[in-house]
Chain A
Amino acid sequence: MSSRLDGSVGALVDAVQSGAASALDVATESIARIRASDSGTAGDAPLNAFVSVDDDVQSAVAASSGGSAARALAGVPIALKDNIATLRLRTTCGSRILEDHVSPFEATVVGKLRAAGATIIGKTTLDEFAMGSSTEHSAFGPARNPHDRDRVPGGSSGGSAAAVAAGICQVALGSETGGSVRQPAAFCGIVGVKPSYGRISRYGLVAFASSLDNIGVFGRAVDDAARVFDVVSGPDAEHDATSAAVEPETVQQEPGRLDGVVLGLPAEYFPDSLDPAVRDRVMRASVAARARGAEIRQVSLPHTALAVPAYYVIAPAEASANLSRYDGVRFGRRVKEASARDPLRAMYEATRSEGFGPEVTRRILLGTYVLSAGYYDAYYRRAMAVRDRIRADFASVFASGVHALLTPTTPTPAFKFGAISDPYEMYMTDVFTVTANLAELPAMSVPTGRISGLPVGAQIIAPRFAERAMFRVAYALEAELGGEAHTG
């Protein structure tokens, strides 16, 4: 029997609502696929997409009211990145310091998903505290790319992307601070959506860099992601940074034409150094957009080159403050030390030194450095000025009549484990994605072809809160590209 999991979210919901499929059966199969992905029986290395799996399927389905009523995501199994707080499963953030941490409350998005009838099947692998681009910094082992298990799935939401790409579930939630949804979506050949800052509540998302953090959505197809997006977005009384001012506007729609739409290609996102094969695949999306009636225009975002340096000042600075709460007093691991002089300080230091992995430690130190006296002006203040300019770059392009931008999501397809050891070289894999976080814009990655079997993503960036227009472009590209989106 061909599985409901292999079709669309829309078809699955119809089947569950009509009684042709049961939420319990679908969730059971989804969890069986997790086990199969980790079994290594096909000679593959374990996918390791999940940190925790909800084995009590019956209760997991029951926690979503059985998924039987006429709900938007009735019976849809969904995986959550393990930095989104849940009551039934631990929330580790991929860190030793929170290895056994069970949140006393649940994230707003989780409550919305349950109310819509979705079944939470498990929590997925991530780089520790979402700091990384490959999941190689997970304390519980990296997830692998389903297209080539010797390669990374991208990060930091790599487990969620791998789970969707491997067919375990059709949709998943991730989070992103600098591209952690779009980059793994591109590496795994699926759709990844970063909302406008303020569109989706972050209540219950463990904070990394609060001015840049977002919860994002993965889907195997654009419509799958759109249906989840519509459920999880919207104002939240628990979270002041979720905007109540915007018109509630659904993104789910029928694929159509792009007549009257102007798409900008920013010159800075297609540098001479860009791999010609990547450029070629992204141009495929540009040709598809034109075939649907869009006008393509060359544009410029002149401060793009400063985005990565600014991002890697601002994000670690905020992280160094946010992660100061993990000191052994209130959360997670505590390492006691019989110190003669200052036992409290010794406990803080022992807990944090043992609890944090090398990348998190590096970023905390970097963030503390750029905020410390004498360096604040040289680094942090300048980075904030660059952030203003990047915002202004986008604003002026969008004010000139451009409706959305089309760029590569990443400079390369998925790389091999261990291929990038220099931290800054790893940070540069985010070069095309950090700008949308700095400018608080919605952006998404859609598949646009393959290179030697490895997926390539095209990124659509839209003005703030113009998610519906962004999805309009994504629907049209997907429909026009058809099978080309998943072939060399």
Chain B
Amino acid sequence: MAVTREDVKRVAALARIRVADDRVDALVGELEGILGHMRGLQGVELTEAQAAPAVAPLVFETIPESPPEPAPPREPQDPYFVVPRVEGLGSS
């Protein structure tokens, strides 16, 4: 899992940091030098909990392009103003 020039350019872009072309090779060496010492971590066994995905897959509900017609407002009954019913928000 050696660090490549492309890796450095990719993480620099992700980090919004501009790395001059002549610095890329130096950074490859520096990161490789540091990460080389960290490969010992890869021998560490993970427990089931530690290996579990950190985040459950997200499911997004999409809002329909054209919302349904709102129900007609009910007649006000003194002394109250009745709020129009919004579909899908509770049962009352």
Contacts and interface: CB of A to CB of B under 8 A. Distances in A.
B42 A382 contact: yes
A368 B18 CA distance: 14
B16 A362 contact: no
A402 to B, nearest CB: 25
B77 interface: no
A352 interface: yes
A361 B24 CA distance: 12
Contacts of A365: 8, 11-12, 15, 17, 27, 31
A137 to B, nearest CB: 14
A381 interface: yes
B87 interface: no
A381 B46 CA distance: 8
A310 B41 contact: yes
Interface in B2-50: 3, 7-8, 10-12, 14-19, 27, 30-31, 33-35, 37-38, 40-42, 44-47, 50
Contacts of A309: 37-38, 40-41
B58 interface: no
A458 to B, nearest CB: 27
Interface residues of A, number: 40
Nearest to B34: A424
B71 interface: no
Given A384-B50, A385-B47, A368 B11 contact: yes
Contact of B14 (A372, A378, A423): A372
B16 A349 contact: yes
A69 B45 CA distance: 58
A366 interface: yes
B45 to A, nearest CB: 8
Contact of B18 (A353, A375, A378): A353
B89 interface: no
Contact of B17 (A364, A369, A386, A424): A364
Contacts of B41: 306, 309-310, 313, 378-379, 382-383, 386
B18 to A, nearest CB: 4
Given A320-B15, A350-B18, A365-B12, A385 B50 contact: yes
A15 to B, nearest CB: 51
Contacts, number: 96
A54 B20 CA distance: 39
Contacts of A305: 40
A218 interface: no
A336 interface: no
A398 interface: no
Nearest to B38: A309
Nearest to A360: B17
A309 B38 CA distance: 5
A188 B46 CA distance: 41
Nearest to B46: A385
A372 B18 contact: no
Contacts of A362: 27, 30-31, 34
Most-contacted residue by chain A among B16, B35, B37, B50 (CB, 10 A): B16
Contact of B16 (A313, A327, A382): A327
A308 B40 CA distance: 11
Contact of A378 (B1, B10, B12, B15): B1
A345 interface: yes
Contacts of B7: 369
Nearest to A386: B44
7 smallest beta-carbon distances between A and B, as pairs: A382-B41, A353-B18, A368-B11, A309-B38, A349-B18, A348-B16, A368-B15
22 contacts: A306-B44, A310-B41, A349-B18, A352-B18, A353-B19, A362-B27, A365-B8, A365-B11, A365-B12, A368-B15, A369-B3, A369-B7, A369-B31, A369-B35, A372-B10, A379-B38, A381-B46, A381-B54, A382-B44, A383-B38, A385-B46, A389-B44
Interface of B: 1, 3, 7-8, 10-12, 14-19, 27, 30-31, 33-35, 37-38, 40-42, 44-47, 50-51, 54
Given A308-B37, A353-B18, 7 more contacts: A306-B40, A306-B41, A349-B17, A369-B7, A379-B35, A381-B51, A382-B44
